A and B are shown apart, each in its own frame.
Chain A
Amino acid sequence: MRALCWNGVNDLRVETVTDPAIINPNDVILKVRLSTTCGSDLHLIDGLIPTMKAGDVLGHEFMGEIVDVGREVTKVQRGDRVVVPSFISCGSCWYCQHDLYSLCDTTHPKPELQEPLLGYPTAGIYAYSHAFGGYAGAHAEYVRVPFANTDCFAVPDGVSDEAALFISDAAPTGFMGADFCNIQRGDVVAVWGCGGVGLMAQQGAMILGAERVIAIDRFPERLAQAAAFGAITLDYTQVDIIEALKELTGGRGPDACIDAVGMEAGGTGLQQAYDRVKQALYMETDRGAALRQAMLAVRKGGTLVILGVYGLMDKFPLGLLMNKGVTVRTAQQHGQAYVPRLLEHAQRGELTPAALATHRFSLEDSPTGYHMFKHKEDGCLRAVFMP
């Protein structure tokens, strides 16, 4: 089959590789209908996350049609159109039983690589380096999906392939962030980042009853999409964000702030230059301007949700969180806990993730798609690949 392979820093090529096959009894093989780029892929492509190997097939956000099933698979069958969360979860362990799916105890094939870094291994994930399991990704014609009874969700009529695609990762990650805010009547939620996850966090906060959602970014087309979803938008290159948020909240500050940016955050001024130099020298991996700003902006006793992907960061103002009594919530997506609900919201038109699909490419042209996505050319919000 054809697949998009990582061959080294910023070296992506579409190659002919071996077809996947059923290995374990709970596996299925999916014929990929659509897959998409994710901001976190850029960390892998740029070499900011170690333990990638030349030849690794990229892609962790996808949907498709089941073409082969293992002998223990009972909940889905050949021909089903399904969406699959990016974390692989068994459904049987203590973590899965408590809806903490990305912390699954049993799906990491190489726990010895991750245990020294995190203390305990997490769930395995498709195409996210060998420290996260080394599973082959979905920018390919076919992908092997373990634990199909837990991880495959049939897409109902009325939900398009493109809408279902983002219910693999961007939508459940964003919605989980909004859920973590424990939104109460009158709450204002500010979201840093209007990429796929940020926009889905904004729509999620609206669905969960936020009084007002404020979206922060610097790209006009992304801010325009946030405005189309009903958010108030702020361009951080044009206004002082802290002052603007105080103005919009009567001096209280947002009740909850969501960082949907992560380690490649832009920024302004000296702090940005300092962060970028240290990152280039591998003295830290993260720039972190958005997170520091969110920490300062959140109201006293408010909630800070971190959805952006981080590795190491210095100059982290921990005392600020303590003195303001901030509750911090963070996780990789526990997608399996949210997907059924999100498919219903999409079916009713309350969640509109297909709006993220701004550019479409054949799998053969996927390196061009990544280039466009990385450099945000032509207003590219997400590049979608069709094998």
Chain B
Amino acid sequence: MNAKASETQLDAAAKAAVTISRPAEELRTLWLRPDTQARIWAHFADVVALDNRTAEWVAHGPAGGEYRWQTEMDDSATSELRWSTLEGADVANTGSLAFRPAPGERGTELHLDVRFDPPGGAVGEAVSKLFHIVPREIVLKALYQFRALALTGEIPTTDPQPAARNGGTDH
């Protein structure tokens, strides 16, 4: 394996964990709500539920690039959710979210694992270049946003008034 392939493979996967002081069942139910999916992945993709198990994702890359795929959710296990892309995905990927009890009265640990299989295989385009965001940031921000939603009912934002310049955008 050459150095480039190794870097690309590392770039194509990310996992992260957070602990949320709520019962696993409550968090699992919240995660599966279509509007939750749309909100927690908003930094990365537009997610629209097609039915109970499938969703359409549209991720935006630099220079107007757009990547589409559909995912199917496997919610048959109570302690873990798994999803993967259906045939025809622009960027194939899989994800899993495991719920584990946290020690003491700290609630539930959520372990999120996402892997991308960019076009061209192991030596293909780096995921961070496709999406303009590194997989670690995709995963971590989704978890942080989910935690905020689960605990407070809202996701923190400064949009549309981050800084007051240009009508309130910081882009």
Contacts and interface: CB of A to CB of B under 8 A. Distances in A.
Interface of A: 3, 5, 15, 17-18, 20-21, 23-26, 53-57, 72, 88, 90, 92-94, 97, 105-109, 111-112, 115, 121, 124, 130, 133-136, 140, 144, 146-147
Nearest to B138: A112
A57 B156 contact: no
Contacts of B158: 109, 133-136
A109 B151 CA distance: 15
Interface stretch (B76-84, B86-94, B141-149): B141-149
Interface stretch (B30-38, B61-69, B163-171): B163-171
Nearest to B133: A112
A107 B170 CA distance: 18
Contact of B152 (A5, A15, A140, A147): A147
29 contacts: A17-B168, A18-B160, A18-B161, A18-B167, A23-B159, A24-B154, A26-B153, A54-B163, A55-B164, A56-B163, A57-B163, A57-B164, A90-B148, A92-B151, A93-B21, A94-B107, A106-B151, A106-B156, A109-B156, A109-B157, A109-B158, A111-B141, A124-B156, A130-B162, A136-B158, A136-B162, A136-B163, A144-B161, A147-B152
Contact of B170 (A15, A94, A134): A134
A23 B167 contact: no
A107 B156 CA distance: 5
Query: Could you tell me the dominant secondary structure of chain B's interface residues?
Result: loop
A97 B152 CA distance: 13
Contacts of B160: 18, 21, 23
Interface string B106-119: 11000000000000
Contacts of B168: 17-18
B137 interface: yes
Contacts of A147: 152
Given A23-B157, A24-B157, A90 B162 contact: no
B140 interface: yes
Contact of B144 (A53, A121, A144): A121
B165 A90 contact: no
Given A105-B147, A111-B144, A15 B161 contact: no
Given A111-B140, A111-B141, A5 B21 contact: no
Nearest to A72: B153
Highest count of chain B CB atoms <10 Å: which of A53, A55, A57, A146: A55
Interface residues of B, number: 29
Contacts of A146: 156
Contacts of A130: 162, 170
Contacts of B164: 3, 5, 15, 17-18, 55-57, 136, 140
Contacts of A121: 144
B147 A134 contact: no
A140 B168 CA distance: 14
A115 B19 CA distance: 16
Contacts of A88: 156
B141 A26 contact: no
Contacts of A133: 156, 158
Contacts of B151: 90, 92-93, 105-106
Contact of B153 (A5, A23, A25, A111): A25
Highest count of chain A CB atoms <10 Å: which of B152, B157, B159, B165: B152
Q: Can you list the 4 inter-chain pairs with the closest CB atoms, starting with the nearest? A: A55-B165, A17-B164, A106-B148, A56-B163
A55 B141 CA distance: 26
B122 to A, nearest CB: 26
B102 to A, nearest CB: 10
A25 B154 contact: yes
B140 to A, nearest CB: 6
A115 B21 CA distance: 20
B163 A108 contact: no
Contacts of B170: 53, 55, 130, 134
Given A53-B170, A115-B140, A90 B152 contact: yes
Given A109-B157, A109-B158, A134-B158, A55 B152 contact: no
B140 A55 contact: no
Contacts of A3: 164
Given A17-B165, A55-B164, A55-B166, A108 B156 contact: yes
Nearest to A91: B152
Contacts of A21: 160-161
Contacts of A20: 161
Contacts of A23: 157, 159-161
Nearest to B167: A18
Contacts of A18: 160-161, 164, 167-168
